[in-house]
Amino acid sequence: MKMGDRIRQMRIDAGMTQEELAEKLGLQKSAIAKYENGRVENIKRSTIQKMAELFDRTPSYVMGFTDTSDYNSDNSSAPIVRIPVLGYVAAGIPIEEIEDVVDWEEIPKDWLRGGKKYFALRIRGDSMEPRMYDGDVVIVEKQDDAETGEYVIAAINGDHATCKRLMKYNDSIALLSLNSKYDPMIFTNEEVMEKPITILGVVREIRGKMKGM
């Protein structure tokens, strides 16, 4: 379930109107409408935490990453862990060995179930606007493959990584910017192997200032 759908369902289950929920969160009613319609996905962490406490849920449940909803609001917060925000990521270097840590972010501990690993990366430039802005931080699940349409961290020619939308075709892949002034990067299956093109992880969350609110 997408985050907007989950927020709407929790609100309805609690018998609240959008206006009532907005008041409890210290927001405008229009903000709740945008959340539920999926028009704003990079919701502030503090707002997600408030929703989790208000509805007795975990932050990861609010964001749609898990169907496990148990959360006792008598506990001050759900268990969390810190992950590094990296200044860059290079292909072939284990995340654990990268020393260019520029900051730290917190994620729910239950995201690590099943041996999953995460790192964070600071976005540079404007190629992913209007979804991701310069200075935003993306939370990335470390994995070496991704589904078509997902936002990935990819390394080209073993160089520092770039954040792009991945599209897969029968004989090629494309790494797409969201900003129309940047051309798509298209590689044949042979080029993927030869350069190589390496998937380092899939973006699971965008953390940054809300734009236009």
- Long-range pairs for 1-6: beta carbons < 8 A, 24 or more residues apart: 1/64, 1/67, 2/38, 2/64, 3/35, 3/38, 3/41, 3/43, 3/62, 3/63, 3/64, 4/35, 4/36, 4/37, 4/38, 4/41, 5/36, 5/64, 6/61, 6/62, 6/63, 6/64
Residues 6 or more apart whose Cβ sits within 8 Å of residue 55:
10, 13, 14, 62
Contact 199, 150 (CB under 8 A): no
Residue 34 a catalytic site member: no
- Backbone torsions φ then ψ of 171, nearest 5 degrees: -120, 10
Q: Which of 60, 142, 164, 177 is catalytic?
A: 164
Bridge partners for 197 per DSSP: 156
Determine the Cα–Cα distance for residues 14 and 16; give it in Å rounded to an integer: 6
Residue 24 a catalytic site member: no
Q: Which of 69, 77, 127, 172 is catalytic?
A: 127
Distances (CA, A) of 65 to 2, 112, 141: 9, 12, 12
Residues catalogued as catalytic: 127, 164
